[in-house]
Amino acid sequence: MEVKRNVDIDILDFAYDLYQKHSSDYLTYIFRGIFSSNLTGRVLNLTESNVEQINETSKIKKRVFSLLVESLQNITKHQAVKDPDDINNLGCFIIQRIDSIYYFTSGNLIKEDEIDHLESKLKKVNSLEGDKLKSYYKEILLGGKFSEKGGAGLGLIDMARKSGHKLIYRFQPIIPNLSYFYLQTKLPADQDPETVPSPPNPLESAIELSKLLETAQLQILYHGFINQENVRQLVTMAEVNISHGEEHLTKKRVFHIIVELLQNVANHGAREGNEKEGKLGIFLLGKNKSTFSLIAGNKVTADQADYLKETIDRVNNYSEDELDEQYEKVLVKEDDGDSIGAGLGLIDMRIKTKNKLEYKIFKMNKEYFFYVVKVQL
């Protein structure tokens, strides 16, 4: 089944809808692209920052990182990439923390002639529990039956052992001789997992979320805490999705805009009482041919919403000469310690992109609004 791209999507409405649907999630992160071993460390660092802020036990932290690594390695071992520019060829990785349960979902192309062998491994693993699963792990390890793609199912066994749950999977035909392989496992962080309700169909929900990103031509979705450390990690994640063929100047501008957008969230988003460090926000990165779309959104107070609307409208109306002039004026004010600020980052983004800033402000309730801005270059 081929995913159709919808060029009519209003990406600002789309971002707000995603934020609302996942507002109760402590973490939702999706990466779509070609996976390699150097990606694992970057995803680990980003996840670690969020897990630290949630105050998980050391036991849960270790299991989260172990399952994350196994999920990513599963993609790199089994992905069958034909054309990196075809959206159906992109692998995907999703990590979510819904209520008190972590969900790890991976997806990648697989050759049809590999499905039976892989499914037999999955069925075998799911048929075992506890000590029997542990014994099977030792049997495979000592047997030394390894294929060119790795450890004869050791990763699958380890995922089942670490999570304590069955592996959920699906093979979905894409084109002749190729299917898309989805694999999901879950890890309850609560001491009593029976008290934590699970979503009706978490794998279906994750697949739907991935397809929404495909339709909107997005490669990265991040919903979680945004602070200075996460800004750095998200920039490095974006770097993976920017082709080596891009001009150096384009890469530099993209990275610069990401930093400006996310620092705006980290510094000026509304802070709620249960947030220890950083602000909850959303970040999306998309690419259509040679055009990059960068979107960020977060909660703001009524006063912040009024200020942002007035400032962006003013910045969008500046001519090129006025932008340069205002940039110098605001820079001098900040150097003089003026804490009021006058949209230096917004002016800088307009100068760097030579495009007007697209934005919307949605009323969430009596106390908060949601501000989302898109920058295209």
Which region, left, alpha or beta, applies to residue 55 given φ > 0 means left and ψ of -120 to 50 means alpha? left
| Digitized pLDDT (tens) for each residue of the chain, 377 residues in all | 344 454 567 899 999 998 888 777 777 888 887 776 667 777 777 777 777 777 778 888 888 888 988 888 877 776 665 454 555 557 889 998 888 889 999 998 888 988 998 999 999 999 998 899 989 888 888 876 555 555 557 889 989 998 989 999 999 998 888 888 999 999 988 755 555 556 668 899 888 888 888 888 888 899 888 877 778 778 877 776 665 556 666 778 888 898 888 888 777 777 665 555 668 889 999 887 778 899 999 999 999 899 899 999 999 999 999 999 998 888 877 555 444 445 788 999 999 888 999 999 999 998 899 999 999 98
Phi, psi dihedral angles at 104 (to 5 degrees):
-115, 115
Cα separation of 191 and 93, whole Å? Answer: 26
Fold of 11-300+358-376: Heat Shock Protein 90 (3.30.565)
Closest by CA to 33, choosing from 219, 207, 218, is 219
Write the CB contacts of 16 (distance below 8 Å, at least 6 apart in sequence).
Answer: 297, 360, 362, 370, 372
pTM for the full predicted model: 0.85
Residues 6+ apart with CB under 8 A from 49: 225, 227, 229, 230, 233
Torsion of CA 270, 226, 5, 13, to 10 degrees: 0
The ranges assigned to domains in the chain are 11-300+358-376
